[in-house]
Amino acid sequence: MNFRRLLGYNLLTAFVLGIVGFYVGWWLGHQFSGPSIAYFADTGQNDIALFLAYLVGLIGFLSGLGFASYPIQRLLGKPPSLREKETAGTGRYFTLCTDHKVVGMQYLIGIGAFIFVGGLNAMLIRFELLSPTKQTFNANNYLTIVGLHGTMMMGMMTSGILGPFANYFLPIMIGARRMAFPRIEALTFWLLMVAGVILMTTVGYGGFPTGWTGYAPLNDQANMGMDSYIVFFALVGLSMSLLGLNMIATVVTMRAPGMAWGRLPIFVWSVIATSVLMLLAAPVLISTLLMVALDRTAQTGFFNAQAGGSPYLYQNLFWIFGHPEVYILALPGMGILLEILPVFARKPLWGYRLAVTGMLGISLLSWLVWQHHLFVSGINADLRPFYMLSTELISLPTGFIFICALGTLWQGRIRFTVPMLFALAWLFNFLIGGLSGVFLSDVPSDVTTHGSFFSMAHFHYTIMGGLLFSFFAAIYFWVPKMTGYAINERFGKIHFWTMFIAFNSTFGPLLVIGFLGMPRRAVTYAGYLHGGNTWVSISAFFLGGSMLVFVGNFVWSQVFARVPVGANPWASKSIEWQLPSPVPVHNFDRIPTFGADPYPYGDGDGAGDSTAPRVVTAPARPRP
Amino acid sequence: MSMRVQKALATLLGIVVVGILAGIYVTSLTGGPTPYRVPVAAAAGGRSVNLTIQTVAAVGPKLAPNANWVSYLVREHGIWHRSTVWTLPANSLIHVTVYQFDGKSGLRNPFLAQARGLVGDAFTLNGKSLSTINPDDASHTFAIPQLGVLVPLAGVADDAENQCDVAPCPLSTAHNTITFTFRTGKKGHYRWQCFVPCAAGFYYGFGGPMQTIGYMDGFVNVV
């Protein structure tokens, strides 16, 4: 056996160093003593030790993957490797790799695994709510399950589309061979994976009672499981901001000749709009969580009213991040939608500039609406009308997206492929989500629906109905390009229809149940809501079953059947479809030159029309 | 072995591993330190039961993972258990004896010093019948809001001798004995809890044991 390979930078080394680091940090944390730490003696929990354990464990894990190698080599004056594992082979998927396509695949599988965990928690929630009073999970564990579901989904899905698909396709779409910061690109992925594992460990530390928002004063009072939440979200925030920075830097600096701003694919614009939000919003989250961590360890009082702090401040800081976060989730879905519709309607994207304006408008306005989450939290009454109107104003740029989508479909020669079905479902679901959102942006109706299942159903319509449906649209659309193998169409359609029907059968009634008075995050509920909840739970189980159909189809298609798709199965005119499937390691033999608008459909005879790319090739630049 | 068989075995192995991990995860959430318990059997032919509990300042390492947390314990067949989820018969009299070993911390809301919802509207404190106590003397409360039951539990004096160190506390150590009776109504699942923020070390005393089943609150499962 080649022991050198075992001892190198790889996942095994990373696990070993991560675990060793965890216990070193734990030990260090227990060396703190003194009067100011008497708190821990009283409570029998040492938050400092757990924070240090996570931190040192993270450093150990990343070092084991090789992330420390580059800075150390530079410090020692040695020539560092500019590329890591940019070769063929399976091993590159399990370590630090600077090939953006490998990182995209890592994201797809890694995030998929954590979505499975989040979905499992959703099933447990619905199982618990089959009965109004009888409990399978006790109240604390139920709150932890709800918190784990929400936090995992909101945290992981921030990179749900940018992680797999922007990392993979954005450089190709702008004619580049790599991202601007390939190591940072890989770092964002591994940070997210470590964060996910850390969040799962909360179960061993008593869980956390706050749901995904982590409100004060509960976040001060909670068990050590709260520390897992804090570290998780801080790492997600770090990953998000680095991802956003990398995307913006790549688009600004690495576009190929001829790729003017007005020729960027609409998906790239959605990535830009999202990345700006990520870069600016995530640091607010990280700072806020650092303050909470200090409250819990160094006995500061940022959010402790008894010490002069303000729990209300936490709510403001959280939602300054939290509402842009909603659009961080929504905008990539809009990009996917508008990228897919022209391909399957065989028409140019209608209103390209309007769509770009809509995305950037949403990105801007999302900063001005956060207080609508605080209408019932003691907000100054005079401020309510402004935030009500600013929230409703955001429906205008959102409307631009709908207009562009409908304009593109109008008189198109539509092919109802699986990705197209998911894209069309996005329109339906997001419309319901948007209309129900009006009730939550209006102060009078928000006062009665806040904290109810109505609110919960609304954001599931926007986030699951929007983001997750577009996520699946992207999978069915782009995975054949990523792997070179088709995904079975028949089972794809079975997946779509079961998911679409079960989704609406789950969350539609929840709007009604919320209006009838069903509160969020409550393990017991009134008897008259039993029938509705039973219906919703059964629908949710079908929804979970539809995911199993997808997983089965995905594994069957990609592992067993392996039907080659060729370079351009959708007859798309985008540049990525002019390359072989899967895309070779170096992307292009020659750096392309772009010379036309991004969506030149309609110049042929429908599905069989010219698939000639809008690209002319030029002599290659020397590789950096 | 053909490649196809290898893939099938690998897929099967993956399904098994994921299934086991999911099973462990779900089991860890359904299990826990607070099983449903019947503290004592109902007297033969009668519709009344005795419930004996104690409150301790620190539950100790033998009974709980959080050794320093304040907690309730319940006695079943002569043995003290850390369980706060109890099964009681419906439409019955519940005779409760509380051995109160914790010190005084006082009530933030004097309203809670008044006993409510008890048979006879009174409880006994060391044999003396009372309906209220000095709010400053309280250590905990025992309350089942949905049944309207509220009893203030007077704490042990700070200067009392022979105070209990480790739970379960023997009756030879300093304590107060409180007895009262309440009536369970129809079948249901009722939450009970201490309403004194008694989790020392946590902000406002509301953290840790105050929000964790198995310490300062639980459920009464009336069947």
Could you state, in order of their start, the residue ranges of all structural domains in chain B?
Answer: 1-31, 36-222
Read off φ and ψ for residue A461, nearest 5 degrees.
-65, -35
Please answer whether residues A338 and A266 qualify as being in contact, where contact means their C-beta atoms are separated by less than 8 angstroms. yes
Binary contact (A203, B34; C-beta < 8 A): no
Contact (CB<8Å) A45/B25: no
Predicted pLDDT of residue A421: 97
DSSP annotation string for A341-410: HHHHHTSPPTTHHHHHHHHHHHHHHGGG-GGGGGTTTT--GGGHHHHHHHHHHTHHHHHHHHHHHHHHHT
How much helix, strand and coil, in percent to the nearest 5, is found in chain A? 70, 0, 30
Q: What is the DSSP string of chain B?
A: --HHHHHHHHHHHHHHHHHHHHHHHHHHHH--S---B-SSPPPTT-SEEEEEEEEES---TTT-SSTTS-EEEEEETTEEE---EEEE-TT-EEEEEEEE-SB----SSGGGGB-BS-GGG-EEETTEEESB--GGGEEEEEEEGGGTEEEEEEPBPTT-SS---SSSPPTTSS-EEEEEEEE--SSEEEEEE--S---TTSGGG-SGGGGSBTTTEEEEEE-
Q: Which CATH superfamily is domain B36-222 in?
A: Cupredoxins -  blue copper proteins (2.60.40.420)
Tokens of A348: 């140019």
Average pLDDT, integer, range A543-564: 96
What's the pLDDT band for B84 if we cut at 50, 70, 90?
A: confident
Interface probe with A: pick from B56, B202, B204, most Cβ of A within 10 Å? B202
Cα–Cα distance, A391 to A437 (Å, whole number): 9
Put simply, the answer to whether B4 touches A217 (Cβ < 8 Å) is: no
- If asked whether residues A271 and A365 sit together in one domain, one would say yes
Rounded to whole angstroms, the Cα distance separating A123 from A224 reads 25
Averaged over B189-212, what is the pLDDT?
A: 80
Rg, chain A, Cα only: 24
CB contact under 8 A, B29 and A222: no
Instruction: Give contacts of A116 with chain B, Cβ < 8 Å.
Output: 18
Structural domains of chain A, count: 2
Q: Is residue A267 a part of any domain in this protein?
A: yes
10 Å Cβ neighbour count for A420? 22
Q: What percent of chain B has pLDDT over 70?
A: 91
Among B29, B201, B202, select the one facing A145 at the smallest CB separation: B29
Indicate if the pLDDT at residue A6 is higher than 70: no
Cα torsion A279, A281, A284, A289: sign? negative
Residue A52 and residue A167 in one domain: no
Do A361 and A501 share a domain, yes or no? yes
Enter the tokens of residue A220: 């001060």
Is the Cβ pair B206, A133 closer than 8 Å?
A: no
- Asked, for residue A595, whether it belongs to a domain, the answer is no
Q: Name the closest residue on chain A to residue B189, using Cα atoms.
A: A133
- Pairwise CB contact (< 8 Å): B208 & A221: yes
For residues A416 and A373, state if they share a domain.
yes
CATH number at residue A105: 1.20.210.10
Give the separation between CA B41 and CA B46, rounded to whole angstroms: 10
Q: Do B211 and A133 touch (CB under 8 A)?
A: no
- Which of B11, B18, B212 minimises the CB distance to A206? B212
- What is the share, in percent, of chain A residues with pLDDT greater than 70? 93
CB atoms within 10 A of CB A7: 11
Lowest mean pLDDT among A403-417, A450-464, B182-196: B182-196
Query: How far is it, in rounded angstroms, from Cα B71 to Cα B166?
Result: 12
Q: Are residue A22 and residue A152 in the same domain, yes or no?
A: no
Residue B204 to residue A221, Cβ atoms within 8 A: yes
Does residue B206 register a pLDDT over 80? no
A5 band by pLDDT with thresholds 50, 70 and 90: low
Q: A423 and A508, same structural domain?
A: yes
A382 & A478 share domain:
yes
Judging contacts by C-beta atoms under 8 Å, the chain B residues touching residue A221 are 199, 202-204, 206-208, 210-211
* Amino acid B167: pLDDT: 86
Q: Higher-confidence residue: B47 or A317?
A: A317
Are A41 and B203 an interchain contact pair (Cβ–Cβ within 8 Å)? no
Q: How far apart are the first and last CA of chain A?
A: 36
Mutating which of A39, A42, A205 best tests the B interface, going by the most B Cβ atoms within 10 A?
A42
Q: Read off the pLDDT of each residue in B13-39 and give the average, rounded to a whole number.
A: 77
| Distance between B123 CA and the closest CA of chain A, angstroms | 30
Q: Which of B26, B102, B203, B219 should we substitute to test contact with A (largest number of A Cβ atoms within 10 Å)? A: B203
Shortest Cα distance from A61 to chain B (angstroms)? 22
Residue A43 has its nearest CB partner, among B34, B85, B202, at B202
- How far is Cα A266 from Cα A351, in angstroms, rounded to an integer? 11
Whether B206 sits inside 8 A of A134 (CB atoms) is no
Q: Which of A131, A221, A303, A559 to mutate to test the interface with B (most CBs of B within 10 A)?
A: A221
Chain B residue whose CA is closest to A295: B203
E strand or H helix at A506:
helix A489-515
What percent of chain A clears pLDDT 90, i.e. is strictly above it? 76
Determine phi and psi for A323, rounding to 5 degrees: -75, -45
For residue A509, pLDDT beyond 50: yes
Q: Is residue A253 within 8 Å of A274, Cβ to Cβ?
A: no
> Considering the domain boundaries, does residue A432 fall inside one?
yes
Quick one: closest CA in A to B23, which residue? A120
Q: Same domain, yes or no, for A76 and A101?
A: no
Question: Would an 8 Å CB–CB cutoff place B27 in contact with chain A?
Answer: no
Q: Which site among A126, A138, A560 would you substitute to test the B interface, given the most B Cβ atoms closer than 10 Å to its Cβ?
A: A138
Q: Tell me the nearest-neighbour CA distance from A215 into chain B, angstroms.
A: 14
Instruction: Please tell me the predicted confidence (pLDDT) of residue B46.
Output: 57
pLDDT of A535-549, one tens digit each? 999 999 999 999 999
Nearest chain A alpha carbon to B199: A43
Q: Which of A51-65, A397-411, B79-93 has the lowest mean pLDDT?
A: B79-93
Which residue among B189, B203, B219 places its CB closest to the CB of A221?
A: B203
* Alpha-carbon separation of residue A24 from A53, A60, A91 (angstroms): 7, 10, 29
Minimal CA separation from B190 to chain A, in Å: 9
pLDDT tens for A565-584 read 999 999 999 999 999 999 99
User: Cβ(A591)–Cβ(A618) under 8 Å?
Assistant: yes
pLDDT above 90: residue A220: no
Using DSSP's 3-state secondary structure scheme, residue A500 falls into helix
Could you tell me which residues of chain A have a Cβ less than 8 Å from any Cβ in chain B?
39-45, 116, 120, 124, 133-141, 144-145, 200, 203, 206, 209, 217-218, 220-223, 304, 306, 524, 555, 559-560
What average pLDDT does this structure show over A176-198? Answer: 96
Asked if the structure places residue A531 within a domain, the reply is yes
Which secondary structure element, helix H or strand E, spans residue A65, and what is its range?
helix A47-65
Which of A415-424, A464-473, B202-211 shows the lowest per-residue confidence on average (mean pLDDT)? B202-211
Residue A124: list chain B partners with CB under 8 A: 26, 29
Given this model, what pLDDT does residue A94 score?
A: 87
pLDDT for B45? 53
Give the model confidence (pLDDT) of A102-123 as tens digits: 999 999 999 999 999 999 999 9
SS3 A327: helix
For residue A619, the model assigns a pLDDT of: 40
Mean pLDDT of A423-436: 96
Residues A63 and A118 reside in one and the same domain: no
Q: Is the pLDDT of residue B13 over 90?
A: yes
Q: Do B206 and A140 lie within an 8 Å CB cutoff?
A: no
Average pLDDT over residues A244-267: 96
Give the residue, A307 or A353, on which the prediction is more confident.
A353
Identify all chain B residues contacting A222, using CB atoms and an 8 Å cutoff. Answer: 207-208, 211
Distance between CA B51 and CA B60 in Å, rounded? Answer: 22
Residue A261 has pLDDT above 90, yes or no: yes
**Do A138 and B69 make contact, defined as CB atoms within 8 angstroms?**
no
Task: Tell me the torsion sign for CA atoms A198, A165, A552, A88.
Answer: negative
The beta-carbon neighbor of B29 closest among A41, A141, A221 is A141
Predicted local confidence at residue A606, as pLDDT:
43
Residue B102 · residue B199 · CB < 8 Å = no
Asked whether the beta carbons of A130 and A533 are under 8 A apart, the reply is yes
A229 and A322 belong to one structural domain: yes
**What DSSP string describes A452-469?**
BHHHHHHHHHHIIIIIIH
End-to-end, the C-alpha distance of chain B in Å comes to 59
What was the pLDDT predicted at A611? 45
Helices (H), ranges, A84-224? 100-128, 139-157, 167-173, 182-200, 218-221
Token readout for B46 is 């009668």
Domain annotation covers residue A529:
yes
Q: pLDDT for A595-615, tens place per residue? A: 888 888 876 544 444 444 555
Indicate if the pLDDT at residue A387 is higher than 50.
yes
Residue with tokens 């990345």: A275
pLDDT for the residue A608: 43
Cβ separation of A217 and B203 shorter than 8 Å?
Answer: yes
**Residue B37: pLDDT band with limits 50, 70, 90:** low
Interface test with A, best of B191, B211, B221 (most A CBs within 10 A): B211
Q: ipTM, 2 decimals?
A: 0.80
| Closest Cα in chain A to B84 | A138
The whole domain housing A11 covers: 1-80
CA–CA separation, A142 and A521 (whole Å): 8
Q: Are residues A63 and A133 in the same domain?
A: no
In a domain, A18, yes or no: yes
Local confidence band at A246 (pLDDT 50, 70, 90 cut-offs): very high
According to DSSP, the β-strands at B217-222 and B85-88 are parallel
Of the candidates A133, A218, A223, which has its C-beta nearest B189's C-beta? Answer: A133
The reply to whether B68 touches chain A by the CB within 8 Å rule is yes
Are A138 and B202 an interchain contact pair (Cβ–Cβ within 8 Å)? no
Residues of B with CB below 8 A from A304's CB? 203
**The tokens of A3 are what?**
């022991």
- The pLDDT value recorded for residue A380 is 87
Phi, psi dihedrals of residue B123, rounded to the nearest 5°: -135, 170
CA distance B157 to chain A (A): 20
Digit-coded pLDDT (tens) for A278-317: 999 999 999 999 999 999 888 888 998 878 899 999 999 9
> How many Cβ pairs within 8 Å bridge chains A and B?
89
The verdict on A109 and A53 lying in the same domain is: no
